[in-house]
Amino acid sequence: MTREDARALDRADPLAPFRDRFALPEGLIYLDGNSLGVLPRAVIPALADTVQRQWGERLIRSWNEGWIDAPQRLGAKIAPLIGAAADEVIVGDTTSTHLFKALVAALRHDPARRTIVSEAGNFPTDLHIAEGAVACVAGTALKVVDRADLAAALDDDTAVLLLTHVHYKTAERFDLADWTARAHAAGALILWDFSHSVGAVPIDVTAAGADMAVGCTYKYLNGGPGAPAFLYVARRLHDALANPVSGWMGHAEPFAFTDAYRPAAGMKRWLVGTPSILAMASLEAALDLWRDIDLTQIAAKSAALFAILAEAGAAAGLPCVSPTDPARRGSHISFRHDHAYEVTQALIARGVIGDFRAPDVLRLGLTPLYLSHEDVWRAGEHLRDVIATEAWRNAAYAERNAVT
Ligand SMILES: Cc1ncc(COP(=O)(O)O)c(C=O)c1O
Ligand SMILES: Nc1c(O)cccc1C(=O)C[C@H](N)C(=O)O
């Protein structure tokens, strides 16, 4: 791949016009959109309006002018990105909180089933929250096994299988329909974490028959730091599952101010307390970008960007830990190196922002909406140079940051 080849791909790229809709810092090649997405330009006026007019002028009246329905309205905007119906998704809280609510609900669904099954090496919060959930439901347990042992771990004691669709470190992707069917064959529910797949790969929860899913919105959906997360529950389970964090926003009549809790119908029962409207406003403006986007174009461009870095990594002699088959991975590429931390820092010093995941992974996010093929080609050239010249052996690059 030459720079000219990359430029030719950019000229033919149907997603190229979206780049201008993001405030990309000058001179930076940003390969960390899988951790914190770039600021969409539309967020700036949307936040200004929310602060100055909605909060500043309309004040409390704004609750009746769009704020109170924001969780459902934003859920309906996320729904097409995961193949759900508009009324099957709600936005609010964090991914961690949604995981807790969904896991406890699943454990209480069928008291004869007492186990959560999940994967060793899953993103830590998923396992930590699962640990917390079983501690809250007497007689239940968490079974964490290697990926190769997951199928054998499912049995008639499994209440719920918790899987992260795309692995945060390696980018390995579970087959959504296949693993949903396996959980169902064992009589269990399935809960998917789409944090690394929503906006990165096509998802169809309806076709797969998935039960529940959660996901964060600050990565590929560019909702902003700490943007509210989403929860999907299949409509057939809406009445059957109960939110254990029974707050007033999930009440059937929050403004009746009654003492006793009575859950709302549909997804509204999964709400807890007052949502952060400023965070919702930022996310909503970011979600509106997705209205006209064809996810198959996202997948095709992601594969093309991956191929560029895979070639550069191979030329540098770096082992790639991400699957070679695009259908079996998400939208980042990870390489192994004994000094991956220092390599990451050396790249950052050159204006190529990726991240390090302990103990030895260099992770580079490929966000088709705002990266050009030429950006990624240039990142590949820097990577080759940092490895070939051993530029990473600079003592300054070994100093550890709090957030890596
Ligand atoms: C798979 C996965 N789940 C959950 C989270 C985060 O959860 P929260 O937004 O609650 O911090 C992340 C990343 O931060 C993640 O990669
Ligand atoms: N959520 C994050 C945060 O609050 C600070 C730093 C990084 C993050 C992340 O998103 C980490 C990310 N989930 C990962 O896959 O590593």
Same structural domain for residues 310 and 285?
A: no
End of a domain among 265, 291, 317? 291
Are 58 and 85 in the same domain?
yes
Residue 77 neighbours by CB distance under 10 Å: 20
Please give the positions annotated as active site.
Answer: 123, 193, 218-219, 363
> Which of 259, 291, 323 is where one domain is finished?
291
Token output for 397: 């690059």
Tokens 């260099």 belong to 362
Query: Residue 194: CB within 6 Å of ligand 1?
Result: no
Determine if residue 164 is labeled as part of a ligand binding site: yes
- Rg of the chain taking only CA atoms, in angstroms: 22
In the structure encoding, which two tokens stand for residue 346, read together? 């050396």
Closest ligand 1 atom to 126 CA = 3
**In this structure, are 241 and 362 located in the same domain?**
no
Q: For the chain, how many structural domains are there in total?
A: 2
Q: 11 and 58: one domain? A: no
CB-based contacts of 46, cutoff 8 Å, min separation 6:
281, 282, 284, 285
Say if ligand 1 is within 6 A of residue 165 CB: no
| CA distance linking residue 77 with residue 267, whole number of Å | 14
pLDDT value of residue 401: 87
- Same domain? For 166 and 301 the reply is no
User: Do 241 and 174 sit in the same domain of this protein?
Assistant: yes
User: Are both 71 and 168 inside the same structural domain?
Assistant: yes
164 with 128, same domain: the answer is: yes
Q: What does each of the 404 residues of the chain score in pLDDT, given as a tens digit?
A: 999 999 999 999 999 999 999 999 999 999 999 999 999 999 999 999 999 999 999 999 999 999 999 999 999 999 999 999 999 999 999 999 999 999 999 999 999 999 999 999 999 999 999 999 999 999 999 999 999 999 999 999 999 999 999 999 999 999 999 999 999 999 999 999 999 999 999 999 999 999 999 999 999 999 999 999 999 999 999 999 999 999 999 999 999 999 999 999 999 999 999 999 999 999 999 999 999 899 999 999 999 999 999 999 999 999 999 999 999 999 999 999 999 999 999 999 999 999 999 999 999 999 999 999 999 999 999 999 999 999 999 989 999 988 87
Atom 1, ligand 2: which residue's CA is nearest? 35
pLDDT of residue 402: 85
Please report whether residue 256 resides in a domain: yes
122 by DSSP, 3-state: which? coil
Q: Which ligand is nearest to the CA of 217?
A: 1
Q: From the CA of 227, how far away is ligand 1's center (Å)?
A: 11
CATH number at residue 368: 3.90.1150.10
Q: Consult the annotation and say whether 95 binds a ligand.
A: yes
160 and 248 in a single domain? The answer is: yes
Q: Do 7 and 24 sit in the same domain of this protein?
A: yes
The 10s digit of each residue's pLDDT in 121-147 is 999 999 999 999 999 999 999 999 999
Residue 404 belongs to some domain of the structure: no
Is residue 55 domain-resident? yes
CA-nearest residue, atom 8 of ligand 2? 35
Residue 196 assigned ligand-binding role: yes
Q: Which of 91, 118, 119, 123 to mutate to test the pocket of ligand 1 (most atoms within 8 A of CB)?
A: 123
Tell whether residue 392 is among the known ligand binding residues: no
Show the domain range for 377.
3-30+294-398
Closest CA relative to residue 161, chosen from 187, 135, 195:
187
125 C-alpha vs ligand 1 centroid, how far in Å? Answer: 6
Contact 177, 209 (CB under 8 A): yes
Query: Is the CB of residue 168 below 6 angstroms from any atom belonging to ligand 2?
Result: yes
User: CA torsion 391→392→394→397, rounded to 10°?
Assistant: 140
Any domain includes 58: yes
In a domain, 39, yes or no: no
Atom of ligand 2 nearest to the CA of 196: 15
Name the nearest CA neighbour of 98 among 223, 238, 231, 191.
Answer: 231
Percent of the chain that is helix, strand, coil (3-state, to 5): 45, 15, 40
285, two tokens = 């403006």
**Distance from C-alpha of 9 to C-alpha of 12, rounded to nearest angstrom:** 5
Residue 40 belongs to a domain: no
pLDDT of residue 396: 92
96 lines ligand 1 (CB under 6 A): yes
Q: CATH code at 68?
A: 3.40.640.10
> In terms of domains, do 218 and 350 share one?
no
Q: Which amino acid, 47?
A: L
Single-letter amino acid code for the residue at 40: P
* Closest alpha carbon to 192 in 302, 106, 66, 264: 106
Query: Which ligand sits nearest to residue 34's alpha carbon?
Result: 2
Domain membership of residue 37 (yes or no) is no
Distance from Cα 95 to the centre of ligand 1, integer Å: 6
Structural domain includes residue 138: yes
Whether residue 188 is found in the same domain as residue 315? no
Domain end: 291, 308, 330, which one? 291
